[in-house]
């Protein structure tokens, strides 16, 4: 999503992805944040914005965004919470932050579960913003038809669909670190750079060749997979969350993937 918006001629996003201003770096002040959106961009950009996925998990961020940008358009893309949780675990492995087995990592890193509790987090945002300000997209649709996914995104933002953009280009394949120690040091260095206001530098490095030197894409043979028992374990954990998400989505729930449809309407009624 970031790469497509970055390349769209009617849109401006900063060079740095994940500014985390409204949750982590609010102490830098609103003027620091505004510096990522130079006034000259208004001459050609119909819309300006940024992408920081951690905002969804922060009530403090929701309150601050409403304070500074009450008319903002908000976008979130939701993935099957089971798959998201396992993907998050692989990210922790990739970053050299854990080598623990999956179940043990679930205990060590509560955010693996918490960040997949979409309904809980969306309900916080809906206390601060109208439902019309919030576009909820389905990651499964992005994988199945990236062009149609982009159309929904552009329609919501009020910008044109551009045929020539590389909608099908894969930005980052699942990968493992060549060295867990080096990956951990790089993650630590990136966090430190952000803390002193160098988010743009981090963005340039992440899009450069360093990433290819540090990580090796998984082959089909060694790519980790979630076990059947672990999948069932997580499905039970997220069952109530998915029921509540159906209520938030309303009629839109029918447009989502199997992970939404798998929780029947009878269960929705039974939960009330």
> What contacts 170, CB < 8 A, 6 or more positions away?
none
**CA 172, 48, 36, 192 torsion-angle sign:** negative
- pLDDT exceeds 90 at position 39: no
Q: What is the mean pLDDT of residues 68-88?
A: 96
Greatest extent of the chain over all pairs of C-alpha atoms, in Å: 54
Average model confidence (pLDDT) for the chain? 85
Query: Which secondary structure element, helix H or strand E, spans residue 138, and what is its range?
Result: strand 134-138
- pLDDT exceeds 50 at position 266: no
pTM of the model: 0.80
CATH of the domain at 72: 3.40.50.300
The pLDDT score that the predictor gives to residue 175 is 65
The pLDDT score that the predictor gives to residue 66 is 97
> What is the domain range of residue 139?
2-270
Percent of the chain having pLDDT more than 90?
Answer: 58
Percent of the chain having pLDDT more than 70?
Answer: 75
Cα–Cα distances in angstroms (integers) from residue 237 to residues 81, 114, 116, 260, 269, in the given order: 10, 11, 10, 14, 19
Contact 243, 257 (CB under 8 A): no
Count: domains in the chain: 1
- pLDDT per residue over 125-148, tens digit each? 999 999 999 999 999 888 889 999
Q: What is the mean pLDDT of residues 71-97?
A: 93
- pLDDT per residue over 178-224, tens digit each? 555 666 666 666 666 666 666 665 565 565 555 655 666 666 667 78
Tally of helices (H runs) and strands (E runs) in the chain: 15, 6
Band (265; pLDDT cuts 50, 70, 90): very low
The pLDDT score that the predictor gives to residue 272 is 31
Q: Of the ranges 69-83, 158-172, 243-257, which is most confident? A: 69-83
Residues of the chain by 3-state class (helix, strand, coil), percent to 5:
60, 5, 35
The pLDDT score that the predictor gives to residue 161 is 96
Q: What is the mean pLDDT of residues 103-112?
A: 97
């Amino acid at each position: 999503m970031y790469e497509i918006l970055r390349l769209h001629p009617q849109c401006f996003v900063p060079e740095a992805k994940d500014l985390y201003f409204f949750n982590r770096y609010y102490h830098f002040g609103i003027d620091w944040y505004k510096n990522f959106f130079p006034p000259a961009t208004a001459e050609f950009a119909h819309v300006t914005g940024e992408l920081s996925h951690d905002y969804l998990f922060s009530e403090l961020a929701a309150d601050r965004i409403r304070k500074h940008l009450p008319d903002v358009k908000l976008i979130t893309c939701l993935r099957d919470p089971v798959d998201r949780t396992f993907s998050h675990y692989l990210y922790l492995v990739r970053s050299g932050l854990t080598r623990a087995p999956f179940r043990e990592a679930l205990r060590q890193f509560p955010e693996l579960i918490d960040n997949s509790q979409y309904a809980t987090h969306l309900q916080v945002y809906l206390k601060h913003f109208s439902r019309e300000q919030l576009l909820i997209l389905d990651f499964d649709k992005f994988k199945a038809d990236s062009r149609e996914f982009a159309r929904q995104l552009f329609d919501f933002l009020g910008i044109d669909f551009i045929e020539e953009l590389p909608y099908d280009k894969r930005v980052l394949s699942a990968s493992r670190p060549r060295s867990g120690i080096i990956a951990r040091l790089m993650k630590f260095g990136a966090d430190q750079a952000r803390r002193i206001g160098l988010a743009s530098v981090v963005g340039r490095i992440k899009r450069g060749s360093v990433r290819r030197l540090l990580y090796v894409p998984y082959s089909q043979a060694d790519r980790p997979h979630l076990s059947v028992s672990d999948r069932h374990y997580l499905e039970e954990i997220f069952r109530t969350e998915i029921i509540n998400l159906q209520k938030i989505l309303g009629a839109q729930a029918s447009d989502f993937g199997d992970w939404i449809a798998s929780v029947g309407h009878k269960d929705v009624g039974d939960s009330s």
